Chains A and B, each alone.
Chain A
Amino acid sequence: MAGITIDGVRKVYPNGFQAIEDLSLNIPDGELVVLVGPSGCGKSTLLRMIAGLETISDGDISIGGRIVNRLEPGERDIAMVFQNYALYPHMTIFDNLAYGLRNRKTPKAEIKQRVEEAVQMLGIAHLLDRKPRQMSGGQRQRVAMGRAIVREPSVFLFDEPLSNLDAKLRVQMRVEIKRLQRQLKTTSVYVTHDQLEAMTLADTLVVMNAGRIEQAGTPMELYSNPATVFVATFIGSPAMNMLPGIVADGFFRVEGDAAGIQPMSLRGVANGPVILGVRPEHLQVGPAIGAGLSGRLHVISSEPIGAETLVYCEGPGSDPLILRAAGEATHRPGDMVDVFAPADRLHLFDTETGEAKPRLTAVQTVMATGPQPVT
């Protein structure tokens, strides 16, 4: 058992491309950390540096307090599950699982026992004599997991292990991975770009962008308090609605054509441009109750998806404003709806840096008594 410390790590590929810039992250023992981010942001690169499959250009990575920069992958006490499983095609499942142990000169009897335990755990005991090509994708996935488990490493590394499976199997395996990780309490780093996978698996969720960490925290922290516009739009689906606007004279007004959004009283925020974010699930249909953002919007389309209905309304910019309504909601294109989001559900971001400003309180947005601003 061992935690991982990544300290000021950089990766410059031989062609001069800097994939990771000065990245630091501490992963406590036994925790499951999920790395998410858009394609090409350096998730796999980081994972492969931990594994020892890529050299580290600068900085240190230590596992269990031991700096591993110069160690071969085989000496780092890690196991990795690959996206395409990378099972040895000519070996039976037993041999696939046993290979790593044999290389470590584990006694035969112990290998047998450990392999048997692992296949029991994964429900593939009946497949031991098969070759990888004689199995389904889901079964191969399990074997790949098994190969990691039998080694009893101090760290599991997963690089999009479920992305080759169909949706149903993916959910099933996701639950299974979570269960196994809880049971084995092995420190794990898991790369994915499936949001749902990221949110459900992670003890700590790390959002990466262009070789940097945008934000790290529990999934709910990232959801409730995104530190940047990037994280705000990356976590949550549909993405958070973003309204660029201006703060002046104690009011927030959206930029350009307001499209029915009311100016909002806003105190304690410096004058100037800001971006206001509100999640679709926090934009309710109905009259304003208390302080917050309100408006009357034009419905463009609505998508009932069973438990809820996504309503697309005309927004101030080119993007529609999306709101989540109840499953039975019957908003038609052309309808006008009153919408409202309470103040404590709103997010303010700096237009320049994209960084979040302190969350609003109801007091800041309570309408000052007196004449209403003319729109």
Chain B
Amino acid sequence: MRRISKILGVITISVILIAGVQTAFAHGGGDDPKDALALVQQAIAAIQNKDMDLATDKVNDAIESDDPAGVKMDLVKQAQGLLATDMDKALSLLQQSLAAPTASPTTVQAEPTIPLKPNFQGTKTEDGLLIAAALLMLAGGLIVSRA
């Protein structure tokens, strides 16, 4: 048993050492983009994930960018004013500000036709499935209690 503990100790220390040494060579992610197109795309993703501080930074950077190609800057500026007050409107303005479609795969053409959020709508099919689900749970409970 003591030998096993020793072996485990050695393995643990080696793993920590290897991890430590490797970090020195680790690659630290990409640089911040300089072009307005990428910055606006990042701002959109930040809003969609509710990180408004980051979104504000990215919109500010985009407006100050030296490379505004592919972006309708007047819309970005309008969005800038709305970030704190009307998130949805700001998001939609930023989306419109991108001249679609660009070389970037971000603007997959079919995107707008397939919504992001399927929701419960209370259709007949859904109601039927819910009844089926209830019956399944009931049947399951009965089988378990009688087995």
Do A and B make up one complex?
no
